[in-house]
């Protein structure tokens, strides 16, 4: 069974200790076991761009969707025999020791092909031809569209969006996640694995799915996101991937990345919106 693992520091996070970061060993183990399908690190929340469409107008702001202190910093898609194995895999990830790992199963559609996978075979080995963004599809309670917002039935069809983006070669892969009630949190504190049910408790919004897209730049990513049906009922958060060598010395990486961890490298959202072909 496939699960998405989302990594977040959270409000109760402990200080990150580079000397204890063994992410390279974790990746080697899950790959050797055949558990890992794909994973990426995400640029910090300063580089997030959130897209909403309200009343036919595209609204774009800098920053992540959530008002909580819990911001997703990376993700993996794994294939585990069951939730117990997924918890065991998640508990060994370095983030579990200072932040937390959220495990979310995917929705299995009745018409899905037997044996089909979220991540296409061999995708991890493909080189990117453009800029890749994780497109988090965010549900907002009470954010349903009004009866009149200028949309057409085609605009409300997620499968039509998938067909268009697949046809353009923009969408790499993606899937719908089970709701927060099916989420499992994993933390490791003082050697003990702590497991709780539920999604990000302090956030009003929750991630309902994601797509990995490959586009020219943030302006095209905004155009793609604005066409997604959930941009009108919820929000779309765009997060660029952050190149990450899992075997780099954590101390060297921490020192190198420290300077740009707190500054936005993406163009301002308003500037990117002005260049989007909407």
Among 104, 56, 66, residue whose Cα is nearest residue 237: 66
Q: What are residue 135's DSSP bridge partners?
A: 211, 238
Q: What confidence score (pLDDT) does residue 156 get?
A: 77
Q: What confidence score (pLDDT) does residue 266 get?
A: 94
Q: Which two tokens stand for residue 108?
A: 């299995």
Q: Which two tokens stand for residue 246?
A: 């899992």
Pairing of strands 131-139, 192-197: unpaired
Given a contact cutoff of 8 angstroms between Cβ atoms, the answer to whether 51 and 59 are in contact is yes
User: Averaged in consecutive runs of 10 residues, what is the pLDDT profile of the chain (278 residues)?
Assistant: 90 84 93 94 91 91 70 92 96 94 90 87 90 92 56 76 95 92 90 83 74 97 95 92 92 88 90 92
Q: What is the pTM of this model?
A: 0.90
Q: What confidence score (pLDDT) does residue 110 get?
A: 82
Q: What is the 3-state secondary structure (H, E, C) of the chain?
A: CEEEEEEECCCCCCCCCHHHCCHHHHHHHHHHCCCEEEEEEECCHHHCEEEEEECCEEEEEECCCCCCCCCEEEEEEEECCCHHHHHHHHHCCCHHHHCEEEEEEECCCCCCCCCCCCCCCCHHHCCCCCEEEEEEEEECCCCCCCCCCCCCHHHHCHHHHHHHHHHHCCEEEEEEECCHHHCEEEEEECCEEEEEECCCCCCCCEEEEEEEEEECCHHHHHHHHHCCCHHHHCEEEEEEECCCCCCCCHHHHHHHHCCCCCCCCCCCHHHHHHCCCC
Q: What are residue 226's DSSP bridge partners?
A: none
Q: Which residue in this structure is represented by tokens 């790992």?
A: 101
CA distance 23 to 95: 9
Q: What confidence score (pLDDT) does residue 147 get?
A: 47
Given a contact cutoff of 8 angstroms between Cβ atoms, the answer to whether 207 and 6 are in contact is yes
| pLDDT tens sequence across 82-101 | 999 999 999 999 999 999 99
């Amino acid at each position: 069974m496939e699960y998405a693992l989302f990594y977040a520091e959270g409000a109760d996070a402990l200080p990150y200790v580079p000397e204890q970061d063994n992410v390279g060993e974790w990746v080697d183990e899950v790959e050797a076991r055949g558990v890992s399908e794909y994973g990426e690190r995400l640029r910090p929340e300063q580089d997030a761009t959130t897209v909403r469409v309200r009343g036919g107008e595209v609204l774009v702001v800098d920053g992540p969707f959530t008002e909580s202190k819990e911001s997703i910093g990376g993700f993996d898609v794994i294939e585990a025999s069951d939730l117990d194995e997924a918890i065991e895999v998640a508990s060994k990830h370095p983030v579990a020791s200072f932040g937390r790992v959220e495990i979310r199963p995917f929705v299995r559609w009745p018409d899905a092909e037997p044996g089909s996978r979220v991540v296409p075979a061999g995708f991890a080995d493909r080189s990117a031809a453009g800029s890749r963004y994780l497109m988090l599809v965010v549900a907002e309670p009470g954010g349903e569209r009004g009866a009149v917002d200028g949309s057409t039935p085609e605009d409300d069809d997620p499968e039509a969006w998938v067909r268009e983006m697949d046809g353009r070669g923009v969408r790499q892969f993606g899937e719908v996640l089970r709701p927060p009630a099916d989420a499992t949190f994993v933390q490791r504190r003082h050697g003990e694995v702590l497991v709780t049910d539920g999604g990000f408790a302090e956030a009003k919004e929750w991630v309902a799915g994601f797509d990995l897209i490959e586009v020219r730049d943030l302006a095209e990513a905004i155009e793609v996101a604005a066409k997604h049906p959930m941009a009108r009922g919820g929000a779309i958060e765009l997060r660029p991937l952050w190149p990450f060598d899992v075997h780099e010395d954590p101390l060297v990486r921490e020192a190198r990345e420290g300077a740009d961890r707190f500054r936005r490298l993406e163009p301002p959202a308003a500037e990117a919106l002005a260049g989007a072909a909407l």
